[in-house]
Amino acid sequence: KNEVEQSPQNLTAQEGEFITINCSYSVGISALHWLQQHPGGGIVSLFMLSSGKKKHGRLIATINIQEKHSSLHITASHPRDSAVYICAVSWFDEKLTFGTGTRLTIIP
Amino acid sequence: KAGVTQTPRYLIKTRGQQVTLSCSPISGHRSVSWYQQTPGQGLQFLFEYFSETQRNKGNFPGRFSGRQFSNSRSEMNVSTLELGDSALYLCASTSSGASQETQYFGPGTRLLVL
C-alpha cells in the first residue's frame, strides 16, 4: 500500500528556532509536494520536488529519493509560520496522497 | 491573474439532501482536482477532471460525482448526504494535471450535514 508518514504531528517552538518537519513514503514517487494550511483552511503550495533541494526565503525543502524521505526546514522561525504543514506525494497514477500534517506553533 | 475560486464558502444541509459545489480554476488551467478534508481522515483525493473528462478517481462511493465544463469550471455533487460527509471540500487547478506541476488550491467549501 502506498503510504505517506509525517513527523512530528505537533511541534511547538520559540521564535527564531530552526524547524524541521519530516516526511517518508513507501515506494518510489514522481513528485513530492509541501503544502501550508492556515487556520482558515486555505492551502498554499510551498514546494514541489522530484529531486534535490529547493529554497524560498526562510524555507528549504530537501528530498532523498534513495531513502524515500523529505524534510521541510524553516530558518529563523516566526509566529506567522504557525500553520499546518502537509506533505503530499504523487505516484505514477498522478493523484495526490497526503500525510496527516504537522501542526506548527511558534511562540513569540 | 485571479486565483481559484469556490462557491459557496459555507453550506449547511440535512441528511438525505444533495449538494452541488462549484470550482473555477485559474484562467488557462485545464485540470481541476477535488479533495475532501476531515479531522479523522485528513485530506483525501476525490477525483480529477481534465478537458471535461474524469481522468482519475479516489476511493469514494458513487454518491460523489463531478463534472467539468468547456470553460474548465468544475462542479462536484454529493447525493443522499450523510453526517460523515461534513468536511472541507477543496479544489485545486493546474495547467495540465501532471504530477510535477504546482497545484493551486481554492479557499474551500465548508459543508456541515445535520
SS3 for chain A is CCCEEEECCEEEEECCCCEEEEEEECCCCCEEEEEEECCCCCEEEEEEECCEEEEECCEEEEEECCCCEEEEEECCCCHHHCEEEEEEEECCCCCEEECCCEEEEEEC
Under the banding of pLDDT at 50, 70 and 90, the label for residue B63 is very high
CB B55 within 8 A of CB B64: no
With CB atoms and an 8 Å threshold, state whether A41 touches B107: yes
A91 contacts in B (CB within 8 Å)? Answer: 99
Under the banding of pLDDT at 50, 70 and 90, the label for residue B98 is confident
Chain B closest-CA separation from residue A9 CA (Å)? 12
The pLDDT assigned to A90 comes to 87
B53 contacts in A (CB within 8 Å)? Answer: none
Question: Over the range B50-76, which residues count as b (16 or more CB within 10 Å of their CB) and which as e?
Answer: beeeebbebebeeebbbebeeebebbb
Q: Is the CB of B66 inside 8 Å of chain A's CB atoms?
A: no
With CB atoms and an 8 Å threshold, state whether A96 touches B45: yes
The pLDDT assigned to A2 comes to 62
Q: Is the CB of A56 inside 8 Å of chain B's CB atoms?
A: no
Give the span between the Cα atoms of A36 and A41, in whole angstroms.
10
Could you tell me the maximum CA-CA distance found in chain B, to the nearest angstrom?
A: 39
With CB atoms and an 8 Å threshold, state whether B45 touches A50: no
In this complex, the residue of A50, A91, A97 whose CB is nearest that of residue B100 is A50
Q: Does residue B102 carry a pLDDT above 70?
A: yes
Q: Could you read off the pLDDT tens digit of each residue along chain A, which spans 108 residues?
A: 568 999 999 999 999 999 999 999 988 788 999 999 998 878 999 999 999 999 999 999 999 999 999 999 999 999 999 999 999 998 876 688 999 999 999 999
- 3-class SS at B58? coil
A48 contacts in B (CB within 8 Å)? Answer: 100-102
Q: Does residue B34 carry a pLDDT above 90?
A: yes
Give the span between the Cα atoms of B40 and B15, in whole angstroms.
20
Q: What are phi and psi of A81, to 5 degrees?
A: -80, -10
Q: Is the CB of A43 inside 8 Å of chain B's CB atoms?
A: yes
In this complex, the residue of A30, A88, A100 whose CB is nearest that of residue B100 is A30
With CB atoms and an 8 Å threshold, state whether A94 touches B99: yes
In this complex, the residue of B42, B102, B104 whose CB is nearest that of residue A101 is B42
Closest-CA residue of B relative to A29 is B99
The pLDDT assigned to A1 comes to 58
B106 contacts in A (CB within 8 Å)? Answer: 42
